[in-house]
Amino acid sequence: MSEINPKIRVEELTKLLNEHNHRYYVLNEPEISDFDFDALLRELENLEKSHPELADKNSPTQRVGGDITKNFESVAHDYPMLSLNNTYSNEELHDFAERTIKTLEREPEYICELKYDGVAIAIVYENGRLVRAVTRGDGSVGEDVTANVRTIRTIPLELTGDYPEKFEIRGEIVFPHEAFNALNASREKLGEPKFANPRNTASGTIKMQDSSIVAGRGLDCFLYSVLGVDFESHYEGIQAARRWGFKVPSEELRYITRVNSIDGVEKFIQYWNKEREQLPFETDGIVVKVNGTANQKLLGSTSKFPRWAVAYKFKAERVATVLERVTYQVGRTGAITPVANLVPVQLGGTMVKRASLHNSDQIDKLDVREGDTVFVEKGGEIIPKIVGVDKSSRSEDTKKLVYADRCPECGETLVRKEGEAQHYCLNESGCPPQIKGKIQHFIGRKMMNIDGLGAETVEQLFEAKLLNNIADLYDLKAEYLLPLERMAEKSVNNILAGIEASKTVPFPQVLYAIGIRYVGETVAKKLAQHFGSVKNLLEADLETLVNVDEIGQKIAESVKDYFEIPENIDLINRLIKAGLKLELNKEELENRSNKLEGLTFVVSGVFSSMSRDEIKNAVETNGGKVTSSISKKTSYLIRGENMGPSKLEKAEKLEIALISEEEFVAMLE
């Protein structure tokens, strides 16, 4: 039997996985099971690992992300990304039609599309491969978010069919309701504040530094405008993009249609004004475009927007109801959120009973009082918000709302630090929601990843007085758990096994899990690498903390404050005694040095003896700094095979020193 050629097999697997990805995520017509897909993906991963010279940035294996982008490089758009002129009434829509007819001397064919409420994106393809993705920015210059866009599975990395050599395609990245709700459910489980709406969350996600987090959030993208290719109409461009493998607006689902009059446009608007609540994503209106390319050229553009297109914006749904009372929620960090409890009212297809009031400043701004008739809107928001008060109907005996001065859960005096919007309960070790929230955070997948434990179990163990802090987890025994409801022998064994397994979690992850305010995953890694152990960290003074790379005053003060609380020191000592890894191991410590201190590196290309991540880790372990984009501050570009020509060109222009993998290793030795 002849040996399989790795290069040919990589090409076969890449093509096969891209096809199945397109059928699953774009066409919704899967041909193989998830298990079979994962098996093919693992085969490709293993081949790329064994033959790193065959690895490719557009490989299906890159969908999971992993690149860290500290600074998003500014990129000038080849074609300006103009905004659309907005209309809010049928009269304004008819004005648009009349101006169009007057210029063209006839009524044209229109394209009507849903206006997706997300993040505008411009993506460049060369020779059928994704090379760059840029945000709108100011319309002339955007930010390069290619690493994050590659993780969105409905955006093809390689095209099929009769695609041109080079072109740009534009669209909107959206956060589907199902994925957004799942994200908020997981945040609530961890005791973290929920995100307000899909649009803002999509915008924040696409600018995250860690592309692996972006990959896990389930963003989607509709692409609807091809530039750099001559088509007779906008519709023709949409159909071509569909053939090349893009997810474009569906005619079958009525996301897009062609009409011959403004009356047809109005019917499309009326339909979606009623049906938009059924969509699996947010929309805030309808985009109306003159279809013919020749007519678009005749109509032209102003400096701000095209004259051949207009956006009809839906009115945000607003209802009036009575605010019965204001209550206060306590988060994992002690942050207090005021909540308006309302007389239940239908809004956007759901029964609304509560709305966030955010903080005391918002309450003062609205001058909202218990008993007031308030106006509640949803619009693009998933979480309803109070946008106004009907003061004409206010009773004379209503009193100005006095913000809570004590924690509603434990009675502790609330504190509001200078420069912060929220009040906080500082009773970390005695406030039930904070205690439970910290434990739920600690056991989470990206923290200690303790199997068998969830929010309900934490609640049960807290009520049974078996858990009052994270260290209590390591004192649990089978005889304590078995008498509890719903605790069978198998579930108890799973919990205890998960707790025992967590003792192998590395120090940076443990530090993140402890839940020090402002110490997220990246900050925890920085602190762990710099100090080497929690003992060194708690002994560090404020000046030492501030001088750690990328640790500012706010984070440093939070770390210092945490370790000045005696209960927290006791907690850390108990975790050490339990056997948790609160220091780097011998190998990690031996590999640490300051050889690269003060130097900034960019790593690009494919390497033979080390992966990109291993090289980046080696830089950071030896005191250096890794960035994704080249600037005047870059000390060295570590150059691998098949590195991007744009980075090479910029490095040469800025006279940045280029070194090979072997030269980098020599620097360490």
| Full DSSP string of 493-554 | HHHHHHHHHGGGS-HHHHHHHHT-TT--HHHHHHHHHHHSBHHHHHH--HHHHHTSTT--HH
Q: Length of the chain in residues, anyone?
A: 669
Contact present, 240 and 86 (Cβ < 8 Å): no
For this structure, is 115 an active site residue?
Answer: yes
**SS3 per residue for 339-392:** EEEEEEEEECCEEEEEEECCCHHHHHHHCCCCCCEEEEECCCCCCCEEEEECHH
Residue 517's alpha-carbon distances to 100, 155, 444, in angstroms, are 56, 36, 16
Distance CA 442, CA 121 (A): 36
For residue 25, the one-letter residue type is Y
Question: How far apart are the C-alpha atoms of 594 and 620, rounded to whole Å?
Answer: 9
Token pair for 539 = 């002994």
* CA atoms 429, 434, 437, 442: torsion sign: negative
Active-site position among 7, 57, 115, 353: 115
Q: Are strands 309-313 and 350-356 parallel, antiparallel or unpaired?
A: unpaired
The number of beta carbons lying within 10 Å of the beta carbon of residue 572 is 20
Please report where in the chains the tokens 């708690």 appear, as a residue: 538
User: What are the residue numbers of the active site?
Assistant: 115
